Structure 1
């Protein structure tokens, strides 16, 4: 479980069990608050779009 522990300047301190790490505030929704639980999801559609763009760029480079 990922929980917002606190905000420090432009960063958010996230707790995951007994570990902590920081993320830029701008990576979280504007309404995120201390104590909120975060849910991470994989965006398959965006992954597909990103791969398509990379494939097109590679094709351009190696033409």
Structure 2
């Protein structure tokens, strides 16, 4: 089975990417302007721990305010 990410086609604001036997619709805005059908692409995913922690703190603060007894 071929396990490369390949641009299959464009549908409105999405790029349809094949990976093996599966397809994924990804937002067009995350791709470079010169992307085209048939391109083989590399995808790097990493966790942004700093932003994750800030988001967790904001959500916890909102939850505390929402469920605070008065």
User: Normalising by the residue count of structure 1, what TM-score does the alignment of the two structures yield?
Assistant: 0.73
Q: Which has the larger radius of gyration?
A: 2
Following TM superposition, where does structure 1 have runs of at least 4 consecutive aligned residues deviating by more than 6 angstroms? none
The superposition leaves residues 3-42 of structure 1 with CA deviations (integer Å, 9 ceiling, x where unpaired) of: 241322211112222211102213x14x262422211111
2:20 aligns with 17
1:44 aligns with 49
Note the residue ranges of structure 1 that are not aligned, 5 or more in a row.
Answer: none
d(CA) in 2 for partners of 1:60 and 1:11? 38
Q: Relative contact order: is structure 1 or structure 2 higher (C-alpha 8 Å, sep ≥ 6)? A: 1
Note the residue ranges of structure 2 that are not aligned, 5 or more in a row.
Answer: none
Count of matched residue positions in the alignment of Structure 1 and Structure 2: 61
Give the root-mean-square deviation of aligned CA atoms. Answer: 2.0
1:57 aligns with 62
